[in-house]
Amino acid sequence: MSSGPGVKAIQPALQPTSISSEEMKGKLIRAAITILVPVVIFLAPVPADLPVAAWRLFAIYIGAILGMMLRPVPEAVVLLVAIAISGIFLKNTTVVLAGFASPTAWLVFSAFMLGQAFIETGLGKRIAFLLIGTRLGRTTLGLGYVAAFTDLIISPATPSNTARTGGLVYPIFRSLAVTLGSEPGPTSRRIGGYLSLLLYQISITTAHVFLTASATNLIVTTFAKSILKVDVSWMQWSQALTPPALFILMLLPWIVYKLYPPEIKQIDNSTISERGLTEMGPATRREKTLACLFVLAIIGWATGNLTKIDATAVAIGFVAACLVTGVVSWNSLASAKGAWSILMWYGGIISLADGLAKAGFFIWLAKIISRNFSFAGYSTFTMLLILLLLSCGVRYFFASLAPFCTTFIPVLFTIGLVANVPKWPLIFLMGAASEFGCLLTHYSNAVAPVLFSPGYVGQATWWKVGHIIAFICGVIYMTLGLGYWKLLGLW
């Protein structure tokens, strides 16, 4: 993808394909941990009141989570192995493959495909250049809002921060920074550091505005259905999270601007926008068609409660329409490795989670928590605050958001269930916190290394700003968020 005249293209460095002995040793150690821990759990005495099948499936589930965290092999391979082992020991492939029939798995898969269409047609890039050319793009602060709007606009169709911000938005804005003489090092403070830092805050925030803006949102709703017995629709999620998330999004460019001010204040945005759009040429038929289909998809998702058309049906219909109208080719979608990979591991994790729920594991876990902890006397606000702090406090130990969600969301939901916390605010607060908790480090979300690794911002600054923004997010959700959900009658 070219970056436009006057904007230097950033080419990724070639990575060596050979594996050193140290890397191989590390991979073997990670593989050993991934295998030995579940084996120990599997062979341990089965706790009282828990079916043997549930305990065995729990051991395999722990192995899958460890595999996703340590990554001795790709996540899809980890889940494929877990499914195979589950089928062998449980002697029931219907249960361990049920997740691949889940509408949620196909919703996130279809949304990944849509993200591919935005990148391939160039529509996402055109949107960015059009916004850069507006009045907002005249100043660095305004450019921060341009980045926020760009990420927000394409977020419903890209459930991957890495694909959306790391693969589409960041290359454009980093190239812009390079053009303005801001490289990692002595000139990073000109504008590159501000944009790199801000884009991470933006990406994490837009990720929880829409249900389809992050694959992990769908993990949260999966556990909400299996543990809390609550089925969250696309519109319900967006209705609950859009006001507080957009409030945060509107604050972010200004807050980061104050915390880490860039040296460049004014920008010749018109020239940059015009050159970029000139190189792209007039909008193609594919771009126009994709824009129309995208609007129809948003309408379909937003009116699902009225039309009774499932969000997954809308997403699959969108993909089918893109293929029929020639927006993208089947060969292009077939080569979208990220989409097929997430279908494999996401369908696998849903299968294991649903299997645990049906086997009574979470009911047993709730009984254990009830016996050992008393939540009598705690108000709803206090319990939600405790769960919020617990959700954020453990994030330093997770190098990826998916393992956190598959490990801790079931625990948090189970504690909330035992403590009689209202289910809807519990779901939405934990869903939002699962995202903004990633701001605490530079490694807890896949897009973080993409924006941090160029070296525009040091780790100390990254963590400092991230902690401040995460604290602000927590305060807003515990005040504005809970108050808004109260008005909606959700608790």
pLDDT tens, residue by residue, 12-70 = 444 444 677 888 888 899 899 999 999 999 999 998 888 888 899 889 988 988 888 78
The alpha carbon of 164 is separated from its chain's Cα centroid by a whole number of angstroms, namely 10
Cβ atoms within 10 Å of 258's Cβ, excluding its own: 9
353 CB-contact burial (10 Å; exposed 0-12 / middle 13-18 / buried 19+): buried
* 3-state DSSP percent of the chain in helix, strand and coil, to 5: 75, 0, 25
Chain centroid, CA 229 distance in Å: 23
Cα separation of the two ends of the chain: 48
Asked whether 453 and 459 are in contact (CB, 8 A), the reply is no
- Extents of the domains making up the chain: 31-487
Q: pTM to 2 decimals?
A: 0.80
Cα-to-chain-centroid distance, residue 52: 34
Closest to 478 measured CA to CA, from 405, 383, 390 = 383
Q: List CB contacts of 433: < 8 A, sequence separation 6 or more.
A: 388, 391, 392, 474, 477
Measured N-to-C along each axis, helices 21-43 and 52-70 cross at an angle, to the nearest 10 degrees, of 170
Cα atoms in the 13 Å half-sphere on the side-chain side of 262: 30
Write down the pLDDT at residue 18.
60
pLDDT digit string (tens) for 310-327?
888 888 898 899 999 999
| Contact by Cβ (8 Å): 9, 175 | yes
Query: Each residue's pLDDT tens digit in the chain (491 positions)?
Result: 333 333 443 344 444 446 778 888 888 998 999 999 999 999 999 988 888 888 998 899 889 888 887 888 888 888 889 888 888 887 777 777 887 877 777 877 887 777 778 878 888 888 888 888 888 889 999 999 999 999 999 888 888 887 788 877 888 888 888 888 888 999 999 999 999 999 999 999 999 999 989 888 988 999 999 899 999 999 999 999 999 999 999 999 999 999 999 999 998 888 888 988 898 899 999 999 999 998 898 888 878 778 878 888 888 898 899 999 999 888 888 887 877 887 887 788 878 888 888 888 888 888 888 888 888 889 999 999 999 999 998 888 777 788 888 888 999 999 999 999 999 999 999 999 999 999 998 888 878 888 888 889 998 999 999 999 999 999 999 999 999 999 999 88
- Amino acid 152: pLDDT: 93
Helix and strand totals (H; E) in the chain: 25, 0
Instruction: Provide Rg for the chain, Cα atoms.
Output: 23
Contact 151/169 with Cβ under 8 angstroms? yes
Cβ contact 267:138 at 8 Å: yes
Return phi, psi of residue 139, to 5°. -120, 160
The rounded distance, in Å, linking the Cα atoms of 406 and 397 is: 14
- How far apart are the C-alpha atoms of 425 and 477, rounded to whole Å? 10
Chain-centroid distance, C-alpha 9 = 27
